[in-house]
Amino acid sequence: MAVGVFDSGLGGLTVHEAIAARMPDLPLVYYGDNANAPYGVRDSDDIYQLTCRGVERLWAEGCDLVILACNTASAAALRRMQETWIPEGKRVLGVFVPLIESLTERQWGDNTPPREVAVKHVALFATPATVASRAFQRELAFRAIGVDVEAQPCAGVVDAIEQGDELLAEALVTSHVEALKRRMPHPEAAILGCTHYPLMQSTFQKALGESVKVYSQANLVAESLEDYLARRPEFVGSGTRSAYLTTGDPKRVSGKATQFLRHAISFESA
């Protein structure tokens, strides 16, 4: 009854942790494509091919449902996968929609026309590829009108996190927030549009100020998944084991994951 969690590297562990806390009896298989991280500077065809390869590996583990806990993959690959590639009996879900539903105060499956919402000025922090895709703005437009979104590509942050350099990551986050605030001085809400970024959430919050509500995806995705599986239990796969898989060096990746999450995690080769 396993579910797969895919990410380009370590960031999706924030989603994995939230799902495990909410559904402790659900086996989860995590796949980190650390050998090819970061995805945020790759082109869309490259991201698509790498994402398909990782999803197929999770299917082989008995995970009929895979969460793309990677905003770049969700932005650059998910729609193409859903339209042309995913076979019957399998599902691949992204991480944008639960976030946007929370921001716009909509329930799952609410397909009524877009309407005005309370938040008018939103800062989006994401990888360069996610920003270039405009996937967040596209999904938001289906649900809300009159929302000004200012997007900041946060080059270097994922690399610093993957390398375990917290001081560099903090400095880069502060710099990117300052750059955005020069264009949007008073955002009401901020979207952490990369699952690596919750690892730096306190730094984002400090740079933005306490008046800005910061949305990160992990708990929202976990809540949405629990609801989805209650409605569609047939997509709980046949796998029975939990595992952490990586395309990188398992020892090194295990050490970095343990460092950031502050409890022991042991990866094996994908």
Residue 108 has pLDDT above 70, yes or no: no
Residue 107 has pLDDT above 80, yes or no: no
Q: Are 184 and 150 in contact (CB under 8 A)?
A: yes
- Render pLDDT for 211-268 as a digit per residue (tens, 0 to 9): 999 998 898 899 999 999 999 999 988 888 999 999 999 999 999 999 878 899 999 9
| Arithmetic mean of pLDDT, 36-44 | 90
Residue carrying structure tokens 């022991």: 264
Q: Where are the alpha helices (DSSP H) in 142-233?
A: 157-163, 166-183, 201-208, 218-231
What is the reported pLDDT for 217? 86
Nearest Cα neighbor of 196 from 101, 150, 127 is 127
What does the DSSP assignment read for 97-125? Answer: HHHHHHHTT--TT--SPPEE-S--EEEEE
| Arithmetic mean of pLDDT, 126-154 | 92
Nearest Cα neighbor of 268 from 83, 67, 30 is 30
The dihedrals phi and psi of 249, each to the nearest 5 degrees, come to -80, 115
- Render pLDDT for 224-233 as a digit per residue (tens, 0 to 9): 999 999 999 9
What is the reported pLDDT for 101? 86
| Arithmetic mean of pLDDT, 103-113 | 80
Higher-pLDDT residue of 182 and 101 is 182
- How high does pLDDT run on average in the chain? 93
Sign of the C-alpha dihedral, residues 95, 100, 101, 105? positive
Catalytic residues: 70, 194
pTM of structure = 0.86
Residue 161 has pLDDT above 90, yes or no: no
Nearest Cα neighbor of 174 from 198, 144, 207, 152 is 207
**Pairwise CA distance, residues 35 & 28, whole Å:** 21
Sign of the C-alpha dihedral, residues 105, 106, 108, 114? negative
Residue 210 has pLDDT above 90, yes or no: yes
What is the reported pLDDT for 105? 85
Residue 110 has pLDDT above 80, yes or no: no
